[in-house]
């Protein structure tokens, strides 16, 4: 149907589209481009789709190096446009005078997820650039929101990401320090104890009015604080408050609560303490005592930064340099720990590493490279604008990183057994990688007129009487319910090429992040292999030690 010029343009369109979308061209995009150039092709769209499908399949079968070479040869302008922005480097930090001290401050509500990896990697990159200390500070001062497994899992997640933590600090070990600094601030007149009912105190703050306790003397405040520690007050009956500006336009900044009473049992401390610091108090005190020079966090913490600065200014402490990056939306990614915990408890999820989740454990299980996280967030940078996480770009980066060392294998979902008549006994050699010869090869011996396995979708799509190629085996013709061997050599480069599985292949299931799965046959070579493999014309899949496949990406 297509003349030579139209075929060339279709191939160029497929190469452009594949190069810009992680190595996978989309048939719809290619057809749209072609129909725009050659409107006369609309007369037979179905025949056009069949021909374009073969071109797209061929382009999608190229390795990253092969794709790049083809693009460089046929559509080099795409390469030039893309490479203008390939060099990414985080901007320098302000006020760096020697080694820096930075921190990661997760709450131990559960293991880390992909969103946490941004905070971890950006801080780690700067400490590696300037030298200094990177502190993991586990902020566990809310006993109602702690999962004990997080204390061990968070450091493991960071280690897997390649983040070099120099020391670990756990806030629940530092209550006496928080109490000492509270007493100091009360003596300075910057903190007071309030025993108003909660709704009454909130009303004062909303109206920008002073609570009656605001002007109590330091000694009176210290007495109430001691009563809180001694159990004189019940939860909700007394708090410690940092004085700020009651006329501040943002009510959240006005006098804020620094300590409250809790009867909850702490997973590490039990009931040793009953007066708990709020997040802003613990952060302010620790950022000073740990010597933080620079703080990088999301712009949802801008108001918290302003609150914490009051503590620094009352005490005359040097403030860190603050950076606030834009928030990232993660569409269709399950990150919320409360949802995950409920799902695990109900049996909906198998655990924190269930591949339907966005946890580091789950993404590791699927086979992502830790280098992908680092490169993605460095390329995203420290921009203040909000953005959306692009799984397409993330997968494209991951493919580029892993492909040069990822072996190939054949997998046929929903297999159909088909005999090849006229094929003499043969030993087939299959390269484990099209360009990386160090990965070796695998061999299979087939008898005369062997039976092989094809995917049901491929078999259904092959018209009777048509010629196609079984990869590395030869060209065959469909004759009813069997195949007839035609020739070994690849004569027509435009012929459709499909994968197949030998008779001794093993059953294999691929679990997918949408909760579905594909079941079929995989070559016996996979029996003793664990790790990521590219299942040709299917996807990159992590083959686990449990014998199951975990879908990575196309």
Distance CA 22, CA 337 (A): 31
Q: What mean pLDDT do residues 369-381 have?
A: 96
5-54 residue pLDDT tens:
888 889 999 998 888 887 889 888 888 888 778 878 877 888 888 899 99
First to last CA, the chain: 30
Q: What mean pLDDT do residues 117-145 have?
A: 97
Mean pLDDT of the chain: 94
For position 85, what pLDDT does the model report? 47
Q: What mean pLDDT do residues 106-118 have?
A: 98
Q: How far is CA 73 from CA 58, 134, 310, in A?
A: 16, 46, 61
> Above 80 in pLDDT, residue 494?
no
For position 500, what pLDDT does the model report? 97
Q: What percent of the chain has pLDDT over 90?
A: 84
Q: What is the 3-class SS of 200-252, one letter each residue?
A: HHHHHHHHCCCCCCCCCCHHHHHHHHHHHHHCCCCCCCCEEEECCCCCCCCCC
265-307 residue pLDDT tens:
999 999 999 999 999 999 999 999 999 999 999 999 999 999 9
For position 220, what pLDDT does the model report? 98
Q: How far is CA 245 from CA 208, 255, 256, in A?
A: 9, 7, 10
45-83 residue pLDDT tens:
888 888 999 999 999 999 887 888 788 778 776 764 554
pLDDT band at 491 (very low <50, low <70, confident <90, very high): low
For position 257, what pLDDT does the model report? 99
> Above 70 in pLDDT, residue 447?
yes
> Above 80 in pLDDT, residue 1?
no
The residues near 523 (Cβ < 8 Å, ≥ 6 apart) are 409, 410, 411, 442, 444, 501, 502, 505, 506
For position 449, what pLDDT does the model report? 97
For position 32, what pLDDT does the model report? 82
For position 8, what pLDDT does the model report? 87
262-276 residue pLDDT tens:
999 999 999 999 999
> Above 50 in pLDDT, residue 84?
no
> Above 70 in pLDDT, residue 460?
yes
The DSSP result for 474-532, as a single string, is: EEEEEETTEEEEEESS---TTS-EE--B-TT-EEEEEE-TTS-EEEEEE-GGGGG--EE
For position 196, what pLDDT does the model report? 97
Q: Domains of the chain, with CATH numbers?
A: 4-83 (no CATH), 100-171+326-401 (3.40.50.620), 174-277 (3.90.800.10), 414-498 (2.40.240.10), 506-553 (2.40.240.100)
Which structure tokens are listed for 457? 């979708």
For position 87, what pLDDT does the model report? 60
Q: What mean pLDDT do residues 189-209 have?
A: 98
For position 75, what pLDDT does the model report? 79
Find the angle CA(38)-CA(42)-CA(47) to the nearest 5 degrees: 105
Radius of gyration of the chain (CA): 31
The residues near 136 (Cβ < 8 Å, ≥ 6 apart) are 103, 104, 106, 154, 155, 158, 165, 167, 168, 169
Q: What percent of the chain has pLDDT over 70?
A: 97
355-374 residue pLDDT tens:
999 999 999 999 999 999 99
Distance CA 242, CA 227 (A): 18
């Amino acid at each position: 149907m297509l003349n030579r010029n139209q075929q060339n343009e279709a191939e160029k369109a497929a190469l452009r589209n594949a190069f810009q979308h992680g190595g996978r061209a989309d048939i719809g995009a290619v057809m749209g481009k072609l129909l725009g150039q050659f409107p006369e092709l609309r007369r037979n769209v179905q025949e056009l789709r069949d021909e374009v499908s073969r071109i797209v399949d061929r382009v999608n079968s190229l390795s990253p190096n092969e794709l790049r070479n083809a693009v460089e040869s046929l559509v080099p302008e795409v390469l030039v446009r893309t490479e203008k922005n390939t060099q990414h480097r985080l901007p320098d930090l302000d006020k760096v005078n020697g080694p820096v001290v930075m921190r990661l401050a997760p709450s131990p509500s559960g293991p880390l997820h992909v969103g946490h990896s941004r905070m971890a990697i950006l801080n780690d990159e700067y400490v590696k650039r300037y030298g200094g200390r990177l502190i993991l500070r586990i902020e566990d001062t809310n006993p109602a929101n702690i999962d004990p497994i997080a204390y061990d899992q968070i450091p493991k997640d960071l280690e897997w990401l390649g983040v070099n933590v120099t020391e670990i600090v756990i806030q629940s070990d530092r209550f006496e320090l928080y109490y000492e600094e509270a007493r100091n601030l009360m003596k300075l007149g910057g903190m007071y104890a309030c025993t108003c009912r909660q709704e009454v105190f909130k009303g004062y703050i909303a109206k920008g009015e002073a609570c009656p306790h605001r002007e109590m003397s330091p000694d009176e405040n210290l007495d109430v604080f001691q009563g809180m520690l001694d159990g004189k007050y019940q939860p909700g009956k007394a708090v410690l408050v940092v004085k700020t500006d009651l006329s501040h336009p943002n009510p959240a900044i006005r006098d804020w609560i620094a300590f409250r009473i809790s009867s909850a049992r702490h997973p590490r401390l039990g009931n040793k303490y009953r007066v708990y610091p709020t997040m802003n108090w613990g952060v302010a005190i620790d950022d000073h005592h740990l010597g933080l020079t620079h703080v990088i966090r999301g712009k949802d913490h801008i108001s918290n930064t302003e609150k914490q600065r009051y503590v620094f200014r009352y005490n005359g402490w040097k403030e860190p340099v603050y950076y606030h990056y834009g928030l990232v939306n993660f569409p269709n990614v399950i990150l919320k720990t409360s949802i995950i915990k409920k799902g695990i408890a109900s049996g909906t999820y198998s655990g924190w590493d269930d591949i339907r989740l966005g946890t580091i454990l789950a993404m590791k299980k699927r086979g992502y490279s830790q280098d992908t996280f680092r490169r993605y967030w460095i390329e995203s940078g420290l921009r203040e604008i909000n953005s959306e996480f692009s799984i397409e770009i993330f997968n494209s980066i991951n493919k580029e990183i892993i492909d040069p060392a990822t072996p190939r294998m054949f997998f046929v979902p929903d297999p159909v057994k088909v005999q090849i008549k006229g094929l003499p006994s043969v030993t087939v050699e299959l390269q484990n990688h099209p360009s990386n010869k160090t990965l070796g090869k695998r061999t299979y011996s087939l008898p005369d007129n062997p039976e092989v396995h094809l995917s049901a979708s491929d078999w259904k799509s092959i018209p009777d009487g048509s010629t196609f190629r079984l990869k590395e085996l030869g060209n065959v013709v469909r004759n009813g319910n069997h195949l007839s061997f035609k020739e070994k050599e690849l004569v027509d480069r435009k012929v459709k090429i499909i994968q197949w599985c030998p008779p001794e292949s093993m059953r294999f299931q691929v679990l997918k992040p949408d909760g579905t799965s594909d079941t079929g046959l995989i070559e016996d070579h996979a029996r003793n292999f664990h790790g990521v493999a590219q299942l040709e014309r299917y996807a990159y899949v992590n083959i686990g030690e449990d014998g199951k496949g975990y879908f990575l990406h196309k």
